[in-house]
């Protein structure tokens, strides 16, 4: 596996690939890699000649400086994990200057209103930061296909909107949430949980499964009440939001319509760790 330490090294790699007509599959990450990330590379491996990943903790998508500072940085371990997986041909590890040569500012985007829901409402400016880094990475990596996890479902929908609005030639693929055996969605943040918090966090997946059972059986306000009750009864856990939304518009709904797809979204603060999860309802 090649390690591309700066933009020049990346551009040489990409230009060689393009000369040889090789298709490029790309999965960007912020590092602290786990098996959820690996599932993106597995998908990419199936349909591309070359698989490129990137590791870059993007400052502009953090609205909370403490969160940015505390974000785990384990680049050497990550590179080892990528190499061991045997799924990745090259990893791009840019500096802040490679991505933001002029200033550390986000561009402002219109993502068809998707940016104002859930994570956008909770974290002002977050999706402008995500859009900016992804647009720049796409310019530099020039992928044919790019892979994003459904774990961050709103982010996936926003990147689809970015590609659509800017008419970029990359195809976006969503990858199912990779969970641990007890159902907890894999996340770089899980390593910040104490053992007790880690065990208690399984309630998130268990609750989402119950929501799926209740879906179309009881009303949405009733489902919300039950979810609030379950989480609030857990010591050290606080429900930041729970809602059911239309998968297209990401707008919260209080009613089900027959021909639409719905998804439950929740964010729970477990001690100081903010955990995010979601589930398609069927
Ligand atoms: P991150 O490094 O957290 O920015 O995540 C990089 C990519 O991996 C994003 O597309 C995430 O949605 C995806 N991802 C993170 N955790 C998971 C997971 N448990 N299952 C599937 N994809 C994931």
Alpha carbons 264 and 218: distance in angstroms, whole number: 14
- CA 74 to mean position of chain CA atoms: 18
Is residue 219 a contact partner of residue 100, using CB atoms and an 8 Å limit? no
Alpha carbons 61 and 45: distance in angstroms, whole number: 28
Report, in angstroms and rounded to the nearest whole number, the Rg of the chain calculated over CA atoms: 19
What per-residue string of b and e applies to 236-262 under the rule 16 or more CB within 10 Å gives b? ebebeebbbbeeeebeeeeeeeeeeeb
Q: Please name the helix (run of DSSP H) or strand (run of DSSP E) that holds residue 126, with its range, or none.
A: helix 126-141
Alpha carbons 215 and 203: distance in angstroms, whole number: 18
Q: How far is the CA of 152 from the centre of ligand 1 (A)?
A: 7
Is residue 89 a contact partner of residue 14, using CB atoms and an 8 Å limit? no
pLDDT confidence tier of residue 120, bands split at 50, 70 and 90: very high
Q: Which of 142, 136, 143 is nearest to 96 (CA)?
A: 136
SS3 56: coil
Of ligand 1's listed atoms, the one at least distance from the Cα of 187 is 16
Ligand 1 binding pocket includes 157 (Cβ within 6 Å): no
Per-residue model confidence (pLDDT) at position 219: 96
Residue identifier of the C-alpha nearest atom 5 of ligand 1? 29
> Which tokens in the block code for residue 82?
């990528």
Q: Which of 109, 154, 122 is nearest to 249 (CA)?
A: 154
Q: Tens digits of per-residue pLDDT, 189-223?
A: 999 999 999 999 999 999 999 999 999 999 999 99
Alpha carbons 140 and 96: distance in angstroms, whole number: 14
Torsion angle (degrees, nearest 10) of CA 130, 136, 138, 142:
-170
Alpha carbons 161 and 148: distance in angstroms, whole number: 13
Say which of 34, 37, 126, 173 is annotated catalytic: 37
Q: Tens digits of per-residue pLDDT, 1-40?
A: 999 999 999 999 999 999 999 999 999 999 999 999 999 9
Could you tell me the pTM of the whole model? 0.97
Quick check: is 37 catalytic? yes
Mean pLDDT (the chain) is: 97
Q: Using a pLDDT cut of 70, give the percent of the chain over it.
A: 100
CB hemisphere CA count around 184 (13 angstroms): 19
Ligand 1 binding pocket includes 178 (Cβ within 6 Å): yes
pLDDT confidence tier of residue 96, bands split at 50, 70 and 90: very high
Please name the residue that has the structure tokens 């089900």: 256
Alpha carbons 42 and 62: distance in angstroms, whole number: 28
Mutate which of 40, 60, 147, 275 for ligand 1? The one with the most ligand atoms within 8 Å of its CB, which is: 40
Ligand 1 binding pocket includes 115 (Cβ within 6 Å): no
Rounded to the nearest 5 degrees, what angle is found at the Cα of 31, between the Cα atoms of 198 and 74? Answer: 80
């Amino acid at each position: 596996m090649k390690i591309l330490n700066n933009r020049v090294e990346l551009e040489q790699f990409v230009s060689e690939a393009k000369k040889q007509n090789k298709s490029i599959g790309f999965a960007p990450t912020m590092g602290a890699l786990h098996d959820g990330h690996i599932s993106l590379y597995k998908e990419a491996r199936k349909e591309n000649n070359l698989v490129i990943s990137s590791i870059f903790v993007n400052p502009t998508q953090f609205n909370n400086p403490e969160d940015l500072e505390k974000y785990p940085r384990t680049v050497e371990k990550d590179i080892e994990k990528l190499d061991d997986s045997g799924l990745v041909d090259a990893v791009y590890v840019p500096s802040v200057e490679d991505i933001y040569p002029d200033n550390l500012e986000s561009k402002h985007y219109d993502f068809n209103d998707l940016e104002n829901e859930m994570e956008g409402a909770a974290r002002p400016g977050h999706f402008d930061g995500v859009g900016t880094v992804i647009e720049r990475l796409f310019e530099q990596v020039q992928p044919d296909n790019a892979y994003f996890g459904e774990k961050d479902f709103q982010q996936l929908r926003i990147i689809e909107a970015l590609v659509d609005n800017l008419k970029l030639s990359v195809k976006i693929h969503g990858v199912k949430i990779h969970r641990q055996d007890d159902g907890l969605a894999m996340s770089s943040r899980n390593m910040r949980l104490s053992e007790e918090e880690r065990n208690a966090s399984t309630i998130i997946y268990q609750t989402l499964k119950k929501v799926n059972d209740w879906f179309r059986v009881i009303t949405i306000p009733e489902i919300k009440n039950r979810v609030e009750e379950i989480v609030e009864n857990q010591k050290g856990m606080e429900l930041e939001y729970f809602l059911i939304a239309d998968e297209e518009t990401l707008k919260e709904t209080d009613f089900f319509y027959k021909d639409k797809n719905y998804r439950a979204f929740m964010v729970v603060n477990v001690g100081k760790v903010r955990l995010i999860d979601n589930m398609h309802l069927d």
